[in-house]
Amino acid sequence: MVQKPTERIQSGDAPHFDSPQLHIIALNMEHKNSFIHKFIAGISVSNGTNPAKEYESAKEGVKRGKVQWRLNVPVPVASKIVVKILKHHTFQKDEIITTVSVPFPDILKFFQDNQQNSMMDIKGQQGEKLSLSIEQKSIQDMLQRVTLPSAVLEKLGYARQPVEVLIAMSDQLGDVNSIAKVVLGLFSKVYEQLEKQELCIQQVSLLFEKINLLAPLLATAQELEEYEHLQKVIVDILHLFQDVLNAIDKYNESHLMGQILDQFKSDPSLDIQRFSTRFENLSKAFDQSLQVDQAQMLDQAQVESILSKLKPDFRQPAAFCAQDTCSDIFIELDRWAMTQSEKLFWLHGVAGMGKSTIAATYSNRLKAQKMLGGYHICSRDTTVHQSSTQLVLNLCYQLSLAHKPFGRLVAKTIKADSLFSPNGMPVTELFELLILQSVKTLKDKHPGSGKIILIIDALDECGDARERQSVIQKSEELVGCCEWIKVLLTSRPAVNVQKTLSKEKLAIWSLDPRNNNQNIQKFLKVQFQSNPEFKSDLDQLLRAIPILTKQSGGLFIWAKAACEYLDSGIAISEGLEKLLHNEAHHNLYFVYNTALSQAFATDTEICQTVLSTIILAGEQLSEKALVGLLSEQTESMIQKILLKLKTLLYLGTDKQLYIIHPSLREYLTDPQVCPAEFYIAKDQHYMLFEKTIQVMHKQVRFNICNIESSYETNEEITGLQERISQNISEELKYSSRYWMYHMVNSGDWSLSHDHVVELLESENGWLYWVEVLSLLGIVRETMLDMTKAIQWIKEESNCQRKIEEITTFLSRFVTPISQSACHIYISALPFVPEKSWMAKQFWNGFINSVIIRNIKGQNWREIQSYTRILKGHTQWIRSVAYSSDNRYVVSGSNDKTVRIWDVETGQQKGTELTGHTHYVTSVAFSSDSRYVVSGSQDNTVRIWDVETGKQKGTEFKGHTKWVESVAFSSDSKYVVSGSLDNTVRIWDVETGQQKRPFKGHTSGVRSVAISSHNKYVVSGAQDNTVRIWDVETGLQKGEELEGHTSYITSVAFSPDNKYVASGSEDNTVRIWDVETAQQKTEFQGHTKQVTSVSFSNDSRYVVSGSWDSTIRIWDMETGQQKGAEFRSHTDPVTSVAFSTDMQSVVSGSIDQTVRIQDVGTGKGTEFQGHTKLVTSVALSTDMKYAVSGSEDKTVRVWDMQTGQLKITFQGHVYTITSVAFSSDTKYVVSGSNDHTIRIWDMETGQQKGNPITGHTNWVTSVAFSSDNRYVVSGSHDRSVRIWDVETGHQKGVKFEVSGSWITTVSFSSDNKYVVSKSHDNIVRIWDVETGEETNSPLQSHLQSLVSSSSDEYSVSKDDTTIRLYSLQQNNTILPPLVFSDTTFSTLTSPSPQFQSSLLVDGWYYVNGHRYLWIPPLYRQAISASQFRCFPFSAENPTLFANLDKFVHGPNWTSVMTSA
């Protein structure tokens, strides 16, 4: 039947059709599954032109194996019906059970033969019995209407088909394609019009017969691009079609068919005879043009003869999938083949998973559908089949046969080159010449099948890494330029495959052994049932399938080996017994040995370490954990090794590393069967013990997950698991749990002893480890390991006693430790015995806690201050550099070491990097911050791994004199070095090989740098010149840059590559234009030689260091120095660099220090303008402005960025004593000795309203409330007052104090309280609403008082201590507490805060907050309201608990002296 275009409809709609149509009213299914499932039925209707209309039913359950869906699906003439049944899963993707296509002619024929029937049976893919119930009336109507005369419609449909072929061809056809689209639209419109008329007029039928004379001619034009003369004739034919169809369309809109015929007779333009004549002439022209074009073309025999020069050599597949296995992957492959978005499909998995078998089976399916373009199997078995050249030749040959136009173009290409020879041609060039070039010519002209699939199987066995990379890149380019070609790749996750594949438009299917059991079972069943040798034992074998499947570990290779073993002549019972008891694994040993030999061919030692770590690990390791444990190796090296071992390992869906089968572990740890080079001895546990100890040494720290409050248990902390993921590395998780496991299994305590002692004696290391255990929830499990460790140590030693004490500590305080990491420090540690090792080791580190000891034993330590002066080098520093992420600074020194510093902490990262035998002259980071390069006066260049602190490879040797300067390329692939041997050299980081030296300087090279685009290298030398070199050619770019009058000491490229900066012993910094080689500017200011120059990241500034001990920043735009110089160093500055965020400058000096200085604050900006002493300053909350008050009676506002004066407020008649900004920066408030308060408008620069008066003496302090509605003031008149900002009136009554005057006032952040401090150091807290003081006065040696960001605390401080005052529910201050042997008391009167205290399960709650955990020994002394007494032994009669410095809640981290 003729196809009829239809309209797109929404799912579930039942549209109306004027044309004949059937109506499906129900879909029925009988299913053999006896379980209750939900099924979904979907039906789509398409006519081949417009998108399919889809109808989806509701989910239905199986009832006695039957299910029926009620539908209302219209099926127009010439449609195809597709029925799809899916099994519905609640938590997984719905599973497709069957998909059946039913063409309309089949339906029509069925009902023509069975006119009394209204139900049509169809068969599902899995044997399901499906049937369609059709409305009887629609069947009869259809049978009547399709028998009407339809010659016109059929002829019109026949003529339409070649036009559709033209449209399916590429846009290269130009006019042909565009006109064909118009004609097709007319065909559709006229078809509908004539169908509605239901009249078949003889004259119109004759006219369409003429059209059909040319239809076969169009149908032969599928290879139109090669028929140059024919194209013009095709265009003329299409124009004639257009004219005829337009004529019918024009008159059909308003006339019946009979009237149309009248118009034909009366209107010459519609003369049928004239149309017929045009048809005949074009038919002759077509024949003539075809003859001319064909004379110039190669015939098929010639094409095949030329293509034979490709010399295809195909490897045949070893096996195909057993029936009904791997159906899920084939469904996914079918889906991918029909989609437009995903052009490549990567099927990967470990060896033995059946990748090649799947590829072979799918190639047969594609061949049957005429969609296979090429299928190549790579193999290392033969030289031919591992050749990437042969891969290209095979694919090209097969694609030429599958797609004739492509083949002819390839033949033309080969014929045009009389010397064509693929041997020796790079694979990229060969792929481009034979495949890409021809495909690009064809563009989107696809074959009749629509899609063509190329299959490359076992890519990991093709050529070397570079060749595989080239094949992948060219395959991606191929599918990117052509809509009708797709590529299926299979491989192990090998080196260069995973990394090279672009994630864009890529479909990936990972074969996971754990999800392969169903396929293994089917495979075994087919193997057993099809082998005649198993016939007598078939029942026994079938019963063994589930156990054999489990033993297989999901590997087809094991299942196949098992079948071969059972078929080797052994008795089935005996064979099964051995298989089921792991005695037949020798069938796999050959596989293991082969894989290991290949993997261990290079990087043998690292391979052994990686494999040993995985095999001996206490649990499955993630890749991250593995990399962290083996920190002496780079992450990229570990990943490389894992990819090499992918034959034996796989990454599960849970991101853990698994061995492919348990027998691999048995094989590798059995010296009787495993070769010595692969054998993993038990003493390798010691290696893992060392790794885990090292990890803990490096990574454990106080409050590792940044817990804010001790009031919450671990379970109550919001987002704890996310914090753990962010702060506790995978390797630390593993190490914390299993370091003792590896120690015990290493077999020799004498080896482990020193490491354990080192951990025991490390500062707080044990406690930080316990903190990790608490957060991970593994305290109790670890206690068992510690008990085993104590038993294993055996010998009595100080070390053993300490481990015993820690075990006792965990046991005694398991509740608080398990429930809250914070309470390790504030609840458990304070209660350890005073004379214990733990008390001596840790108490002094955590002094801000409840103290439970003899009063004579108190010994407080003060908090250490933080410094950003980095000290460690023992001689002067020659070079410094920032990492790109600003986390680290590297320094090189005359002490021959390289050191890496943590910018945040100011601490050295790891130990110094040693290896150079002379002064280190230059250091630099790689762009990814993973490596550091150093140059030395020992004539070598060395690269260091930042994480491991190890040297990467061997040193680079080649310079014959001191190396004075080194730098990384921006891609981190190369290092450039300059030397006093007058040369500049470039080194390959991976290979250590150097390019030819750049020669031209006539004296020693002192400094080098490489441009960010890696095109140029700049060098400065003792010949007073700067030279720029072309990296590619090695030649000097233009003339040398001359101008300096003494040695060049430092050079740098601007990040935009436009300029070069140079520093010299002539005391100047000069800027050069790279393109013109002309000097742009000269910066003068240093009084001694310039030693170092560096650009800011935006190329706007240059920083320089000098022998005059200063650091200066220069503005590229103005040519002037920016701000004042930095003078922090006490000796000459040798090296400087900007941080990438341009916020700070790092410098190195002969004074042996590295200093990090803030560019914004430094000494560069000074606010100058006041004429007398400045008495008060404040910053705006947005940090844009500073305000100051002075004895000169003015208030001045300064721009923080420029340092310029913004506004001067004048009005006060005496000294300004206090100033403050409103939180929105709109206003400034000031207090003065003139007894007034004034509010100033930042926008107008004017005073807001009148002066606020009321105080009778000097105003000493002012502050805004956080909502800016009120101002609080304190005065010499001993009062605190609150003022309304809008009215200037006093709010409520004044707060008056006796004694001394008020010095400081502040609002709490919720504005409910005001805190004041008076000159006699008494702090008072006032309720804003009531005006009442909330507590008795507090006396303290205070110098200043500020409000904290928390509503719960007010913070007071002097130069030695910080005190935190609680503003809890009862607005009371938490006083110090004393526990005596008889009573409980406070330093002041009993606090009402403890009226609401409560003891629950050992936790002491105050006002609902978890304050402290009390050991069982002391709980009987505590009532529901307060501590009463402690029962103490005679040996320790006078213990007391002092909470004077007890920190808790949001301030718990202050428990640690350095926190």
Summarised one tens digit per residue, pLDDT across range 1177-1206 is 777 777 678 888 888 899 989 887 777 888
Position 552 scores a pLDDT of: 77
- Give 999-1021 as a DSSP string: E--SS-EEEEEE-TTSSEEEEEE
Mean predicted confidence (pLDDT) in 528-543:
87
The answer to whether residues 1008 and 1053 touch, using CB atoms and an 8 Å cutoff, is no
The residue type at 437: Q
Reduced to 3 states, what is the DSSP secondary structure of residue 472? helix
As a whole number, the mean pLDDT across the chain is 76
**d(C-alpha 674, C-alpha 588), whole Å:** 12
Whether residue 1260 contacts residue 1344, with contact meaning beta carbons closer than 8 Å, is answered with: no
Cβ proximity of 1264 and 1282 under 8 Å: no
Read off the pLDDT of residues 977-1002 as tens digits, 9 standing for 90 and up: 999 999 999 988 877 888 778 888 99
Candidates 702, 796, 696; CA nearest to 749 is: 796
How far apart (Å, rounded) are the C-alpha atoms in residues 647 and 1320? 79
CB atoms closer than 10 angstroms to residue 47: 20
Digit-coded pLDDT (tens) for 364-382:
989 888 889 999 988 775 6
**Using CA atoms, how far apart are residues 1188 and 131, in angstroms rounded to an integer?**
90
Element (DSSP H or E) covering residue 219: helix 202-219
Q: Is 1083 within 8 Å of 1070 (Cβ atoms)?
A: yes
Chain CA centroid to CA 269, Å: 69
Binned at pLDDT 50, 70 and 90, residue 116 comes out as confident
Strands 53-56, 129-134: parallel, antiparallel or unpaired by DSSP?
A: unpaired
Backbone φ/ψ region at 1292: left (φ over 0), alpha (ψ -120 to 50), beta: left
Query: For residues 8 and 882, what is the distance between their CA atoms, to the nearest angstrom?
Result: 61
Radius of gyration of the chain (CA): 43
The whole-number pLDDT of residue 1112 equals: 92
Which residue(s) pair with 933 in the sheet?
924, 943
Which is it for the CA torsion 298, 300, 303, 305, positive or negative?
negative
Quick one: pLDDT at residue 1391?
33
Residue spans of beta strands (DSSP E) within 214-265: none
Confidence of residue 913 (pLDDT cuts 50, 70, 90): very high
Give 395-445 pLDDT, tens digit per residue.
999 998 888 888 888 888 887 775 566 765 678 888 988 888 888 887 656
Cα angle value 697/698/703 (rounded, 5°): 90
Residue 1319 banded pLDDT, cuts 50, 70, 90: confident
For residue 107, pLDDT over 60 is answered with yes
pLDDT, position 216: 55
Using the Cα atoms of residue 757, residue 762, residue 764 and residue 766 in order, give the sign of their dihedral. negative
DSSP assignment letter at 1168: -
Whether the predicted pLDDT of 1070 surpasses 60: yes
Mean pLDDT of 296-301: 62
CA distances from 776 to 713, 819, 822, 1175 (A): 13, 11, 14, 53
Mean pLDDT over residues 1320-1345, rounded?
63
State the helix-helix crossing angle for 749-761 and 798-812, rounded to 10 degrees: 60
CA–CA distance, 734 with 657 (Å, rounded to integer)? 14
Please provide the DSSP assignment of 795-828 as one string. Answer: S--HHHHHHHHHHHHHHHTHHHHHH-STHIIIII
CA distance 169 to 153: 25
pLDDT of residue 773: 93
pLDDT of residue 445: 60
Give the pLDDT of residue 1408: 74
Nearest CA among 1271, 1272, 1276 for reference residue 1260: 1276
Q: What are the residues facing 1397 on neighbouring strands? A: 1406
Rounded to two decimals, the pTM is 0.36
Distance, in Å, from the CA atom of 1145 to the CA atom of 1156, rounded to the nearest integer, reads 6
Residue 976 is predicted with a pLDDT of: 93
pLDDT score recorded for residue 254: 44
Measured CA to CA, the distance from residue 1062 to residue 1021 in angstroms comes to: 10
Distance in angstroms (rounded) separating the CA atoms of residues 48 and 103: 11
- Over range 1398-1415, report the average pLDDT: 76
**CA angle, residues 867, 871, 875, in degrees to nearest 5:** 155
Q: What's the confidence (pLDDT) of residue 776? A: 92
Range with the poorest average pLDDT among 182-196, 225-239, 317-331, 1169-1183? 182-196
Q: What is the DSSP string of 952-970?
A: -SSPEE--SS-EEEEEE-T
Per-residue pLDDT band for 36 (boundaries 50, 70, 90) equals: low
SS3 per-residue string spanning 70-123: EEEEEEECCCEEEEEEEEECCCCCCEEEEEEEEEHHHHHHHHHHCCCCCEEEEE
What average pLDDT does range 1106-1118 have in this prediction? 90
pLDDT higher than threshold 60 for residue 1359? no
User: What's the average model confidence in pLDDT over 183-195?
Assistant: 57
Give 1330-1360 as a DSSP string. Answer: T--B-SS-EE---SEEEE-SSTTEEEEE-SS
Better-predicted residue by pLDDT, 229 or 533: 533
Q: CA 459, CA 876: separation in Å to the nearest integer? A: 55
**In this model, does residue 545 exceed pLDDT 80?**
yes
- Interval 656-677 mean pLDDT: 80
pLDDT tens digits, one per residue of 605-642:
899 999 999 999 888 888 899 999 998 888 888 888 88
pLDDT digits (tens, 9 = 90+) for 120-177: 888 776 667 888 888 877 777 776 655 433 444 454 554 555 555 445 444 444 455 5
**Greater model confidence, 703 or 386:** 703
Q: How far apart are CA 809 and CA 818, in angstroms?
A: 12
DSSP per-residue string spanning 22-70: EEEEEEEEE----S--EEEEEEEEE-SSSPPEEEE---EE-BTTEEEEE
**Per-residue 3-state assignment (H helix, E strand, C coil) for 554-609:** CCHHHHHHHHHHHCCCCCHHHHHHHHHCCCCCHHHHHHHHHHHHHHCCCCHHHHHH
pLDDT digits (tens, 9 = 90+) for 1125-1174: 888 788 888 888 887 656 678 787 888 777 777 664 333 345 677 887 77
Residue from 915, 975, 911, 905 nearest 948 by CA: 911
